[in-house]
Structure formats: structure tokens, C-alpha cells
Amino acid sequence: MAFRTGRVLLIKFVRNYSSARGNDTIHHKVVVAGGGTGGCSVSARACRTLGPGTVAVIEPSEKHYYQSMWTLVGGGIKTMDQSEIKTAEVLPKPCKLYKNRVSEFQPDRNMVVLDNGQKLTYDYLVVALGLQINPDKVDGLVDALENDPAVCCNYMKDTVIKTYPAIQNFKGGNAIFTVPNTPIKCGGAPQKIMYLADEYWRNHGVRDKSQILFNTSLDVIFGVPKYATRLSEIVKRKDIQVNFRRNLTSVDHVKKLATFKQLDHDNEETYNYDFLHAVPPMSAPDVLKNSTSSIVDEGGWLDVNKLTMQHKNFSNIFGLGDCTNVPTSKTAAAVASQNKILLNSLCQVMDGKIPDGKYDGYTACPLVTGYSSCILAEFDFDGKPMETFPIDQSKERRSMFYMKKDVMPQIYWKLFVKGKWGGPKELRKAMCPWLSK
């Protein structure tokens, strides 16, 4: 009897020791890699549909951020703590949470390897890892963000909190706002903060002593002509100088210099700056970009069918959001539509059917143009407007500003991340009383 008891204890010890070292292989029906906007919303839907104990989520971050709010944090309208919640609280309770990073995908073995060596096998995998921000790809930018109070960036949690103080402390001179030569989260965000800064400086007697430069790597101010026309009028009205096809390559914060490559020519331009909002290059996460498997395309993006969210080579793998090669803007609004399509495709595959999803590329970008004005841009794969309301949404409206400021955060926390987002119809219902304002 004593021998049996000792043997049982030894087995338990070996199992616990092995588990602590990450050597166990654990199986889950559905593994979701990523606990951001896409991972939360799709895991919540999956838990309700498939039942408790079926879904595992891999997410190392202690906090979940509503990053769409960071424009307002940078503009002093919201606080950082209003944009965050503990990851464990926002994920559905029936999910098993692994507070780790993915170190390797092994799709041929239906396996994901974590950074502690632990291996998870799955029947189905959902990849929702988001974008990777690479400030180190711009010479001197990391140092400038750490040491120069006048250099800020709304795209990272440690630097967005610098933006409003930098706007407040600006006393005139050159204020430069950049857009990199890579895909980025929310393509309109670099100019949203510019418009807020412009209004702040006008209200505080600084604007007439300032020159605002919008140095963008793109050849248009916005990718959808209807909204680009109105934004062009706005920058002209605000006397903002737009320099197209300029890509930030280096920052010297000691000399207060920002250097840009002219993408259509083989030369560089260097500007003095007194304020710099620098948007770093972005890419697919390294774990995808460096993958040797056929899980990614040539650019390192998860290779999925843009209509169904199913992987092109592995029928039991799905993806959504910023880490995929779906050819639409990388926004939370896109994820809102994609997660419904994805779960439908997943369930169809489980039933032995071929997915018939028809994601149309819907995405939205609330283009904040001031402290009480906003343009609600909504469009599809082809840049064709898909507007929710029976009004001209290219017009600056107070109602759309308060939708962005007050309505959307409630929808995000109470519906979106819980997998209950109703899509554009929810916006229409919420905003009807103020549509004409």
C-alpha cells in the first residue's frame, strides 16, 4: 500500500515538474492565438457556440487595450486607464488562458509551441496576433521616444501618454506628423491627432507661430476618394502642408532633426522639428514573418481566403484582423465583420461543409477632425463607400464625434469583445437622434 502511494506521488511529481518546465503536450478543440480585439471577440463567440472547455487563448499581456481610443488619449480627451482592462477579465470565463507568447506554428502537426516550451495541439486554430510595431526600424527613433519630450506616438501604450503633454508644451515652430511606408493600424490615425493638435494650438495662441507638416509615404491623403476630397479641403482650410511620398528614416533628437527619404527619387530631406508625432513601420509579428511553413504568404502575413477567413492551405486554420493578408484596412471595425464570418466558416468546416462566407471588406474609420467634429468613413474592399446612415458621411459632424467618443467605447466593451457586436445597424440605432447635427 505504501509502495502504491509512493508511486502515485512520484507520478504526480513528474507530471507537475514536466508541466512546470513546459514539456507536456495539451490538446484543445480550438486554440486562439492572440487575445486582442480579434481574439477576444471570436473566442467569446466560439465559447457560446461550442460550449465550455473547448477554447484556449494564448495571450501574454496582462492588460487588454481598446487601442481605437488612443487618438482621444493623445488629444487629452480620454485617459489611459479608460482604454484598458485586465486580459483575464475581458476574455470569456470558459476559456483556458495561456499567458505566453507563441514561439512556433507547426501546422503539419496541428501544434503550437509556446515560449516556455509547452506544446498545444488543436483540432482547429484561429490566428489573431495583430500587428507588430517596429520603432527600431527608424534610426534613432527609439532613443528619441525615450528621451525627447517633443517626440511622441499614439500607437504604443508607453508613448501615447507622451502625446498630450507634448502638444501642451509646444510653443511654436515645426510640428511634423508622419506615415510610414508599411501597412499600419488604422490608416487615418496619424492625421486624426494632427487635427486635434491644430485645434489645441489655435485655441492656445500657438498656431500662428507654427508650421504643421504632414509627411506621408502615401501618394494620397486617404485611400477612398470620397473622403480624400473632403480631407484635402480640411488640410487646406487648416493651412497644413502635405508632403506626399516621404518616409521617415532617422531622428536625431539632440539636433532636433528628422530625415525622410523621397520615395519617388533617390534623395533625402531633413527637417528641423519642435514637435514630432512619428508613426513607426509595422509588420506581421515575427513568429509569422519568420515562419518556414506555408502558413504565411511572401510578405509574412497569414494567408487566408478574404471571403471566408479560412486558411488557403490548411482547412482547420482560420485568421482575422491585422496579421492576415485580407486586403482591407486594418481596423477594429474590420474585425467586427470578420469574426462573425470566421465563426460561421469554422462551424461549417466542423460539419464537413465548405465555407460559404462572403466578407465584403467592410471597414470603418472615424476620422476625428477636431474636438467636436468627425467624418465617419465606411468602405469595402474596392474603396467603395458602405455608409451606415442616410446622410453624407464625408461631412464633418458633431454627432459622429460623440459617436466616436462616447458610443463606440460602450459598444466595444459591452458588445464587441463579448462577441455580441451587431454591426453597423447598432450604430444607426444609437445615433438616429443626432444624425442631422
Catalytic residues: 186, 365
| Cβ neighbour number for residue 52 with a 10 Å cutoff | 12
Full DSSP string of 180-233:
-SS--BSTTHHHHHHHHHHHHHHHTT-GGGEEEEEEESSSSSSSSHHHHHHHHH
- Element spanning 72, H or E: helix 70-74
Whole-angstrom distance, CA of residue 120 vs CA of residue 117: 10
β-pairing verdict for 84-86 and 96-98: unpaired
Helix axes 157-169, 189-203, angle to 10 degrees: 30
How far from each other are the two terminal CA atoms of the chain, in whole angstroms? 81
H or E segment and range at residue 246: strand 246-252
Distance of alpha carbon 382 from the chain centroid:
21
Rounded Cα–Cα distance for residues 129 and 284 (Å): 8
Q: Distance (Å, rounded) from C-alpha 384 to C-alpha 224?
A: 7
CB 88 within 8 A of CB 73: no
- For residue 256, what is its C-alpha cell? 532636433
Asked if 306 contacts 359 with a C-beta cutoff of 8 angstroms, the reply is yes
**All three cell numbers of 7:** 508511486
Angle at 67 between CA 78 and CA 360, to 5 degrees: 125
In 3D space, the residue among 425, 366, 429, 424 whose CA is nearest the CA of residue 398 turns out to be: 366
- How many residues are present in the chain? 437
Cα torsion angle, 160, 161, 167, 171, sign: negative
Distance CA 65, CA 81 (A): 9
Largest CA distance in the chain: 89
Paired residues of 385 in beta bridges:
379
